[in-house]
Amino acid sequence: MRIGIDARMADWSGIGSYTRNFLKALRKIDDENEYILFCNGESSSLLPEAANFIRREVNVPVFSVAGQFGWRKILASAELDLFYTPYTIVPQRHPCPVVGTVHDLIPWRMPQVQRSKFARVFYRALIKRAVRQPSRIIVDSNFTRDDLISFLEIPEEKIRVIPAAAEEIYRPIRDKIRLESVREKYGIEHPFLLNVGTARPHKNLPFLAEAFRELKRRGVSCQLVLAGGDDIWRPRLRHLVEKLELSGDVIFTGYVGEEDLLLLYNAASACVFLSLFEGFGLPALEAMSCGTPVICSNTSSLAEIVNGAGVLLDVDDSRGWVEAMERILSDQELRAELSERGLKRAKLFSWEKTARQICEVYEELNKEQSATSCQGPASRG
């Protein structure tokens, strides 16, 4: 098959990481199909090289109405058997079967997360079109599949659940010197709990700050490390931390590079994720891949990914969160047990497995197309 892949966002965070890791794994498992990687000047240099990978630079902005209509000509000239997009951007017109991807339905689940009314309307329209045009839709979790069925009435047979995975770099690190160096770099002086991600409202970080204050009131010697770059919500969180008189115990790292994040995961006593909603919840899987115990909310996809490998709690169970954090900081045997469970659970996810399952969707569509071509036009009786 000759398969086109939209790789224009390979230089982004989030979806860029998904695209890069998928392509790296695809290079390992498939040297038979031919892949046309549509990219731009920014993303081209980040794409893996392979004999069956052909880069084609296209001058089509990611968010562009005019560009969307220009895709038909681009795809037709490439003579594709199939086109795959790892994001919710599906060409308006396409001359071949399309496989789309939806990572979450935040505009429906938590519209207040969008920065403006325009953003809410725009992303809703984008997703609606992205789920109605493709022949197949790939989602990261059963939770997102159920959301597609519930909110947008997409037929279940059109959806394929294919989980993402953590990058290979996330693994247990036993080097005490490296772990101590990252603690020194960020001013960490006590055992600490780690949260990784943005401060967007659905991450529920104000609730975490309140629970952490109660933990400190119990006399527990620990710190809370919030790893994530600045965004429009971070200043409000900083203000709340100051108001709660936690400035000396809560560390805002700012943006953290991959190597430092690996070490922070390994140095933490536990990772805490109180999200109200997650399409996949990758940081929890990254933590488990490092053998770090996870305490997380039992909502959305988090419960699905962590399963029995971590401590799962209701998002509004303040007392339960405080007690879970206190126990995990003081109970070495519990930490060891959760670490072992997390490592075992994390091994069930890999990018090669993800890539193989996506390729199976390609094959499935190809067989359908072949069968349709063989049947020819229906006769009129």
pLDDT, averaged per 10 consecutive residues of the chain (381 residues), comes to 96 91 97 96 94 94 76 89 91 85 89 74 83 91 95 95 96 97 98 95 95 97 95 94 96 96 98 93 96 95 94 95 97 97 98 98 91 55 34
CA 40 – CA 156 distance, rounded (Å): 34
Q: What gap in Å lies between CA 94 and CA 91, rounded to an integer?
A: 6
CB 133, CB 158: distance < 8 Å: no
Tally the C-alpha atoms within 13 A of residue 312's C-alpha that lie toward its C-beta.
15
Locus of tokens 């629970």: 211
Q: What is the pLDDT of residue 374?
A: 62
Task: Please state, in angstroms and rounded to a whole number, the distance separating the CA atoms of residues 18 and 60.
Answer: 20
How far is the C-alpha of 7 from the C-alpha of 22, rounded, in Å?
Answer: 10
**Contact indicator for 143, 305 with CB cutoff of 8 Å:** no
User: What does DSSP assign to residue 241?
Assistant: H
DSSP string, 125-171: HHHHHHHHSSSEEEESSHHHHHHHHHHH---GGGEEE------TT--
Q: Count CB neighbours of 146 within 10 A.
A: 16
pLDDT at 28: 96
**CATH number of the domain located at residue range(s) 2-165 in this protein:** 3.40.50.2000
The amino acid occupying position 148 is L
Cα 364–Cα 367–Cα 371 angle in degrees, nearest 5: 140
pTM of structure: 0.91
Domain with CATH 3.40.50.2000 in the chain: 2-165, 176-346
Residue whose tokens read 């790893």: 227
pLDDT of residue 376: 54
> Concatenated DSSP letters for 298-340?
SSHHHHHHHGGGSEEE-TT-HHHHHHHHHHHHH-HHHHHHHHH
Q: Which CATH code for domain 176-346?
A: 3.40.50.2000
* Rounded CA separation 249/119 (Å): 36
Structure tokens at 84: 């795959």
220: tokens are: 């527990």
The backbone region for 153, taken as left when phi is positive above 0, alpha when psi lies in -120 to 50, beta otherwise, is: left
Q: What is the pLDDT of residue 124?
A: 86
137, 254 Cβ separation under 8 angstroms: no
DSSP H or E stretch at residue 255? none
Exposure string for 309-343, b = 16+ CB within 10 A, e = fewer: bbbbbebeeeeebbbbbbebbeeeebbeebbebbb
Beta strands in the chain (DSSP E): 2-6, 34-39, 53-57, 82-84, 98-102, 136-139, 159-161, 192-196, 223-227, 250-254, 270-273, 294-297, 311-313
pLDDT score at 380: 33
Cα(211)–Cα(191) distance, rounded to whole angstroms?
17
Q: Using an 8 Å Cβ cutoff, are 207 and 272 in contact?
A: no
Q: Would you tell me the crossing angle of helices 282-289 and 332-346 to the nearest 10 degrees? A: 110
